[in-house]
């Protein structure tokens, strides 16, 4: 790279501040030595019939069982034969810091069971599930860690048993058969709601009290999902990919579609991840990693790439831009593609959120390097500098100006045998079905606040026995989410389905373009108040909603709604329970 | 003082890191590597816990980290002896937790209460406080509970290190902000969390066992029990709904409703409470201890279940006491009820109240105390002050003597009532 032409200034020596308590932490990490790890596809142990790797144990024949829905599947759930996976949550070790530092990092991750029953070494982020709407999946999750786990497949539409509920655990030495039917919710007339098909999911650990520590230690992974509409966009060359290959399951192999899981860490000088389990305000690291590697570089062809940005930190917020401040195309928020993309120069990403973007490297000469950089300064756990409304502002601020580079793209010539993707801001992507006020059946309000040294919602704390809201199955509700705690930011995550932000009561304005469709995490800035609408379809039972600053959810800023045949305006004891 | 802590840290870090390297060396490719994670987390936390000297209620000086936390399971809270707001209910919760953990933990968990006002709370005051909350004679088999004081600087640094500190200085000065938080952790396993003592006691106990248990068996015992219950309900062919064990007795239906007037002068009738789980309390007494005991229990029920649909509280008074609307308001405020809570304070006709409480609630008739036996001019009558639990079908399911000469029996009755309310709410069809 001696002759590389750098776009934007290379700022490889800027250092993130770290709490002085970590006195023996690593301060300086060489940049751009690591190659970006690209998560490999999870390979099923079998398709269509019970695989030998399940050891003769039928689905559900493990301690924590499977979802009742598995035994009661409507015909239309089985368009394609069921895929069976088996995965082991276990400890692993590998290079997260550049190998030149000579320090391996122990972590917690996931190792896939191979069809012959052997187990691959643990990786973090974990193996990438590639799901298909219409093709059910069963993931037998075996816990070989010394602590309890609960895997939440974030952004999908799952039965309560398999949703990664904070109190539906997998205890050490046992297993749970997570059942992912990969079905679309149905409209009132019985037709599938294609607008709700997720694209960009991820999974992470979600057990009560210990989520943040587990996520910080590495229990997370990625999971794209494809439906006919999205596969057609790839096949026809609109979205990046190799037509005829990237649209074919089960591998959906696509060198031009890459997840970037952003996570900040503190490393002890031995190379181990440091995490303070008694800081319940938020974990801020001084070393940025992507897909489990600190400050990596990624070689890209001079063409369009799709990146699925993922806020995998427990507490850090970021605003991202390219170092030359050029525009890119945002095509989705959280799990869902927009109806049409939008050209922007910056985007905000909080814990739990995803942003699907297209970067066109064909405008750069081969040999050019360009950086992905974070321009949002976050000095403490409360939240970042600046306002929520500045989410798309590409200007750097702070004194000195805050710019922290995370990833270097090295541009090489494009492979001429694969045409460049045609997607532009004019391309039609996924249709959107707005929820209208007339559909709303029940209105509720939730205030997220600090109370008695804890994080609370409406003055209450998480209790697995209490359904804090009971929406009717198939209904629409409108919820006001209010931030009542001075100066703190809370990204609010709703399980089960997408929600639609309809109003920002603080600014009095409609949400800006990127937030006006579907989301599964809505940002609540300091003292802000928003109105969302949400449908509750397909599955009965309890589902979580909570702050996605994982430290906040662990000290009880977490509620659950229980979808039931009869709604209730007030809290109720939880009835369905899948321990 | 802070300088001392810094040097102390620096001193301790050296051996700590050596240990650390050893762990890593053995961790590579060995099954023990799973333990390495916990070890690393534990040490990152241990580095921050000050080893400051504190004095306990027996006047002994103890080092906080090395003698109280290192290698131990602990439940830590901050209090001050004069606190009348969040500390007394927190102490009740700690006593309950201590008794609940005793069978499986014995002495292998240690309760530590550290004063927020070390200037005032001397060793002598701690000793008195300990005598009230953890009398030595009643607790030879219970986990140890120590009350600690120290220098204000040390206690502040302790609170910072333990995360029992508010970033907002105004909030931090308000003891009610941390008065009910329990820091529970096991230094040996590296698992720590914070629990609010005022929550559902059953849940707190299970949560604490899971967080600080020494073995997997101890940690996940309750989860395995819940799984077994769930699986057996599946085998019986029942829908896997949560059920609490223990059926409540059927003590007869309400014969009729009662009507009364609330603080706003509205006439209200219990007819409109049909379909709800209701707890009735009589407060037509002048006995301050009785009023205090009853309102405390009803307040806690309101805190626990007031936000639930299908739950209601009714306090019954007579006009002789509730001659003025302001009295009802005062009563509600004293009891802790807020506007909008499902809690009525009703002024009723005395004859009707007697009939209702005897025939419908099944309470004993009031006794008139002969004039010569009265200890004070107010002691005209003795009332049956038991709280009465009525289910959604207007059937009495229990009467609870929460005001009892023996406070332990009163507390037990209150706990039983709380559990029974939860149980009934689970079985009650949901209302809009
Ligand atoms: Cu939060």
Per-residue model confidence (pLDDT) at position B374: 64
Which residues in A46-69 are b (16+ Cβ under 10 Å) and which e? beeebbebbeeeebbebbbbbbbb
Same domain, A331 and A468: no
In this structure, are strands A572-573 and B53-56 parallel, antiparallel, or unpaired? Answer: unpaired
CB contact under 8 A, A573 and B242: yes
Per-residue model confidence (pLDDT) at position B47: 59
Domain regions of chain B by residue span: 49-222, 250-431
When pLDDT is averaged across residues B240-249 and rounded to a whole number, the result is: 60
Residue B163 touches chain A, beta carbons under 8 Å:
yes
Residue B6 touches chain A, beta carbons under 8 Å:
no
**Pick from A524, A526, A456, A451: which is nearest to A487 by CA?**
A526
**Alpha helix ranges (H) inside A82-136:** none
The torsion defined by the Cα of A191, A194, A196 and A199, in degrees rounded to 10, comes to: 150
Name the closest residue on chain A to residue B9, using Cα atoms. Answer: A23
Are the CB atoms for B258 and B356 separated by under 8 Å?
yes
Tokens of A22: 């970590």
Are the CB atoms for A144 and A166 separated by under 8 Å?
no
Tokens of B47: 């580095």
Residue B107 pLDDT grade (very low, low, confident, very high; cuts 50, 70, 90): very high
How large is the angle between the packed helices B407-427 and B288-305, nearest 10 degrees?
30
In a domain, A351, yes or no: yes
Nearest-Cα distance to chain B for A373, in Å, is 29
Chain A hits for B19, Cβ within 8 Å = none
Mean pLDDT of the residues in chain B = 79
**Domain CATH number, residue A467:** 2.60.40.420
Same domain, A476 and A376: no
Per-residue model confidence (pLDDT) at position B7: 37
The CATH number of B250-431 is 3.40.30.10
Instruction: Identify the three-state secondary structure at position A30.
Output: coil
Chain B hits for A577, Cβ within 8 Å = 226, 230, 240-242
Chain B 371-410, residues with CB within 8 Å of chain A CB atoms: none
What is the residue range of A556's domain?
Answer: 437-573
> How many Cα atoms sit within 13 Å of A447 on the Cβ side?
10
Q: Name the pTM for this structure.
A: 0.86
**Pick from A239, A288, A236, A299: which is nearest to A265 by CA?**
A288
Cis-peptide, bond into residue A400, ω within 30° of zero: yes
How many CB pairs (< 8 A) connect A and B? 205
CA of B342 to the centre of ligand 1 (A): 30
CA of A551 to the centre of ligand 1 (A): 8
Are the CB atoms for A504 and A510 separated by under 8 Å?
yes
Same domain, A308 and A394: yes
Per-residue model confidence (pLDDT) at position A263: 97
Per-residue model confidence (pLDDT) at position B19: 31
In a domain, A241, yes or no: no
Per-residue model confidence (pLDDT) at position B31: 33
Give dist(CA A269, CA A280) in Å, integer: 24
Per-residue model confidence (pLDDT) at position B41: 45
Decide whether B49-222 matches B250-431 in CATH topology: yes
Same domain, A133 and A170: yes
In a domain, A425, yes or no: no
**Residue B211 predicted with pLDDT over 80:** yes
Write down which residue in A377, A412, A447 finishes a domain.
A412
In a domain, A422, yes or no: no
Per-residue model confidence (pLDDT) at position B365: 82
Are the CB atoms for B402 and B282 separated by under 8 Å?
no
In a domain, A248, yes or no: no
Chain A hits for B207, Cβ within 8 Å = 208-209
CB contact under 8 A, B198 and A452: yes
Give dist(CA A40, CA A284) in Å, integer: 28
pLDDT tens-place string over residues B301-343: 998 888 888 899 999 887 765 455 667 777 777 777 787 889 9
Which of B223, B277, B392 to mutate to probe the A interface, most A CBs <10 Å? B223
Interface confidence (ipTM) of the complex: 0.90
Residue B20 touches chain A, beta carbons under 8 Å:
yes
CB contact under 8 A, B20 and A270: yes
Chain A hits for B200, Cβ within 8 Å = 463, 465-466
CA of A379 to the centre of ligand 1 (A): 16
When pLDDT is averaged across residues B350-373 and rounded to a whole number, the result is: 82
Domain topology for B49-222: Glutaredoxin (3.40.30)
**Residue B15 predicted with pLDDT over 80:** no
pLDDT tens-place string over residues A233-260: 999 999 999 999 999 989 999 999 999 9
pLDDT tens-place string over residues B131-147: 988 887 777 889 999 99
Give dist(CA A527, CA A428) in Å, integer: 36
Q: What is the 3-state secondary structure (H, E, C) of A38-68?
A: CCCECCCCEECCCCHHHCCCCCCCCCCCECH
Chain B hits for A280, Cβ within 8 Å = 163, 194
In a domain, A290, yes or no: yes
CB contact under 8 A, A452 and B181: yes
Number of domains in chain A: 3
In a domain, A65, yes or no: yes
For chain A, residues with pLDDT lower than 70 are: 1-4, 6-24
CB contact under 8 A, B38 and A454: no
**Residue B208 predicted with pLDDT over 70:** yes
Same domain, A261 and A223: no
Give dist(CA A231, CA A252) in Å, integer: 9
Q: At B313, phi and psi to the nearest 5?
A: -120, 140
Tokens of A362: 């064909």
**Pick from B299, B240, B275: which is nearest to B391 by CA?**
B275
Per-residue model confidence (pLDDT) at position B4: 39
Per-residue model confidence (pLDDT) at position B375: 63
Q: What's the sign of the alpha-carbon dihedral A518, A520, A523, A524?
A: positive
Q: Identify the bridge partners of residue A37 per DSSP, sorted by sequence position.
A: none
CA of B417 to the centre of ligand 1 (A): 35
Give dist(CA A405, CA A408) in Å, integer: 8
Nearest-Cα distance to chain A for B201, in Å, is 11
DSSP string, A272-320: PEE--TT--S----SEEEETTEES-EEEEESSEEEEEEEE--SS--EEE
Residue B246 pLDDT grade (very low, low, confident, very high; cuts 50, 70, 90): low
The edge-to-edge listing of strands for the beta sheet with B387-390 is B267-269, B259-261, B343-347, B311-317, B277-282, B387-390, B396-400
In a domain, A146, yes or no: yes
């Amino acid at each position: 790279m001696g002759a590389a032409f750098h776009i934007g200034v290379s700022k490889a020596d800027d250092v993130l501040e770290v709490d002085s308590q970590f006195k023996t932490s690593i301060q300086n990490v060489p940049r751009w030595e690591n190659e970006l790890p690209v998560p490999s596809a999870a390979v099923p142990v079998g398709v269509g019939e019970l695989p030998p790797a399940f050891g003769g144990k039928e689905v559900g024949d493990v301690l924590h069982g499977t979802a009742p829905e598995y035994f009661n599947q409507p015909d239309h759930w089985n368009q394609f034969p069921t895929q069976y996976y088996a995965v082991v949550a276990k400890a692993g070790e590998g290079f997260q810091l550049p190998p030149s530092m000579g320090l391996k990092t122990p972590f917690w991750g996931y190792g896939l069971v191979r069809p012959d029953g052997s187990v691959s070494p643990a990786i973090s982020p974990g193996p990438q599930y590639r799901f298909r709407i219409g093709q059910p999946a069963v993931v037998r999750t075996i816990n070989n860690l010394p602590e309890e786990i609960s895997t939440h497949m974030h952004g999908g539409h799952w039965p309560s048993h398999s949703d990664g509920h904070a109190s539906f655990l997998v205890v050490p030495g046992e297993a749970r058969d997570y059942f992912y039917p990969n079905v679309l919710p149905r409209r009132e007339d019985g037709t599938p709601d294609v607008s709700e098909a997720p694209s960009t999911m991820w999974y992470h650990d979600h057990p009560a009290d210990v989520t943040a520590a587990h996520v910080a230690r590495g229990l997370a992974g990625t999971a794209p999902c494809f439906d006919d509409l999205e596969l057609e966009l790839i096949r026809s060359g609109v979205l990046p990919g190799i037509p005829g290959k990237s649209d074919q399951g089960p591998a959906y192999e696509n060198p031009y579609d890459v997840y970037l899981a952003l996570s900040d860490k503190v490393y002890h000088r031995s190379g181990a991840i440091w995490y303070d389990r008694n800081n319940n305000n938020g974990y801020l690291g001084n070393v940025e990693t992507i897909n489990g590697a600190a400050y990596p570089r990624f070689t890209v062809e001079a063409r369009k790439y799709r990146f699925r940005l993922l806020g995998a930190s427990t507490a850090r917020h970021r605003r991202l831009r390219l170092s030359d401040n050029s525009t890119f195309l945002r095509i989705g928020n959280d799990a869902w593609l927009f109806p049409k993309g939008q050209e922007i120069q910056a985007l905000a990403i909080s814990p739990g959120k995803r942003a699907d973007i297209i970067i066109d490297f064909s405008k750069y000469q081969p040999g050019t390097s360009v950086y992905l950089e974070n321009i949002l300064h976050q000095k403490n756990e409360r939240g970042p500098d600046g306002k929520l409304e500045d989410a798309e502002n590409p200007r750097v601020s702070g004194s000195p100006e805050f710019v922290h580079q995370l990833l270097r793209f090295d541009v090489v010539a494009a492979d001429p045998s694969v045409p460049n993707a045609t997607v532009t801001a004019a391309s039609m992507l996924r249709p959107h079905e707005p929820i209208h006020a007339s559909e709303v059946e029940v209105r509720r309000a939730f205030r997220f606040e600090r109370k008695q040294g804890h994080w609370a919602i409406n003055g209450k704390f998480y209790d697995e026995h209490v359904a804090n809201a009971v929406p009717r199955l198939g209904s629409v509700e409108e919820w006001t989410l209010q931030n009542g705690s001075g100066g703190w930011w809370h990204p609010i995550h709703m399980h089960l389905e997408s929600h639609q932000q309809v109003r920002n009561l603080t600014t009095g304005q409609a949400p800006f373009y990127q937030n006006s469709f579907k989301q599964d995490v809505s940002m609540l800035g300091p003292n802000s108040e928003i109105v969302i609408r949400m449908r509750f379809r397909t599955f009965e039972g309890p589902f979580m909603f909570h702050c996605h600053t994982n430290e906040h959810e662990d000290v009880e800023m977490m509620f659950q709604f229980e979808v039931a045949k009869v709604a209730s305006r007030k809290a109720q004891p939880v009835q369905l329970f899948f321990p | 003082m802070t300088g001392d802590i810094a040097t102390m840290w620096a001193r301790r870090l050296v051996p700590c890191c050596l240990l650390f390297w050893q762990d890593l060396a053995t961790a590579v490719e060995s099954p023990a590597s799973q333990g390495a994670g916990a070890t690393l987390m534990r040490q990152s936390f241990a580095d921050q816990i000050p080893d400051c000297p504190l004095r306990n209620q027996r006047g002994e000086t103890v080092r906080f980290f090395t003698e109280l936390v290192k290698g131990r399971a602990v439940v830590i809270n901050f209090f001050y002896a004069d606190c009348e707001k969040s500390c007394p209910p927190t102490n009740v919760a700690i006593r309950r937790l201590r008794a609940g953990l005793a069978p499986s933990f014995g002495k292998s968990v240690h309760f530590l209460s550290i004063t927020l006002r070390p200037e005032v709370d001397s060793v002598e005051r701690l000793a008195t406080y300990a005598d009230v909350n953890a009398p030595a004679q009643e607790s030879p088999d219970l986990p140890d509970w120590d009350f600690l004081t120290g220098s204000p600087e040390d206690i502040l640094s302790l609170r910072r290190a333990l995360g029992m500190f508010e970033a907002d200085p105004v909030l931090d000065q308000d003891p009610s902000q941390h008065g009910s938080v329990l820091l529970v952790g096991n230094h040996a396993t590296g698992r720590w969390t914070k629990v609010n003592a005022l929550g559902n006691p059953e849940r707190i106990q299970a949560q604490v066992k899971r967080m600080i248990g020494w073995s997997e068996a101890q940690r996940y015992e309750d989860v395995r029990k819940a799984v077994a219950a769930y699986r057996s309900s599946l085998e019986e062919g029942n829908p896997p709904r949560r059920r609490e064990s223990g059926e409540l007795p059927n003590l007869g239906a309400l014969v009729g409703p009662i009507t009364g007037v609330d603080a706003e002068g509205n006439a209200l009738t219990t007819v409109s409470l049909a379909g709800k789980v209701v707890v009735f309390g009589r407060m037509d007494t002048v006995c301050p201890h009785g009023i205090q005991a009853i309102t405390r229990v009803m307040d806690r029920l309101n805190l626990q279940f007031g936000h639930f649909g299908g739950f209601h509280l009714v306090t019954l008074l007579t006009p002789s006491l509730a001659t003025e609307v302001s009295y009802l308001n005062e009563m509600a405020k004293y009891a802790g009820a807020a506007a909008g809570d499902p809690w009525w304070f009703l002024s009723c006709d005395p004859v009707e109240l007697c009939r209702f409480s005897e025939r419908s609630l099944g309470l004993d008739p009031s006794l008139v105390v002969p004039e010569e036996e009265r200890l004070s001019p107010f002691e005209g009558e003795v009332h049956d002050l038991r709280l009465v639990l009525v289910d959604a079908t207007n059937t009495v399911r229990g009467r609870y003597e929460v005001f009892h000469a023996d406070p332990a029996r009163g507390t037990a009755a209150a706990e039983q009532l709380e559990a029974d309310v939860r149980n009934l709410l689970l079985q009650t069809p949901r209302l809009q």
